[in-house]
Amino acid sequence: MMPRLTGVVSAGLKPLKKFKNYETVPTYKILLPPILKDSVPDTGGKTKVAVCLQQMNVMMACWKNNEFNERKCSEEIKAFSECMEKSNIEARTLQEAERLGQADSVAGKPTSRIINKLLKRYPQPPTTIKVKM
């Protein structure tokens, strides 16, 4: 029987992959210091929620089916206008309550004024990390 030489011959072709865990680790370049600002921009309490979408879709479908005849779609137009009036009243009352300082949140989120008050009460400590430019 002949000895197998393939392992011995091919061992010299592969580079030695020992001690990979001792390679140098690249350093992280800090572009900005990792701290928060002491304020957030004022959003004005505006929510980007679309209102009365279903009523508007029903009204436009009615217009399309009736060749844009408003007389045949008067009920849908009335429902849409009532929904818009109701949402405008709600927005005004929420805005008034926020102006008076009674509203703590808009749509479940704290307003930017409340966040700014908290950030002024608990300011960020100064950083010891030097930024290299």
Model confidence pLDDT, tens digit, residues 54-69: 999 999 999 999 988 8
pLDDT of 16 > 80? The answer is no
Amino acid 11: pLDDT: 59
Mean pLDDT of all residues in 95-108: 68
Amino acid 56: pLDDT: 92
| Rounded-to-integer distance, Cα 52 and Cα 45, Å | 20
| Rounded-to-integer distance, Cα 69 and Cα 36, Å | 56
**Residue 105 dihedral angles phi and psi, to the nearest 5°:** -155, 155
| Rounded-to-integer distance, Cα 23 and Cα 29, Å | 19
Structure tokens at 57: 């879709």
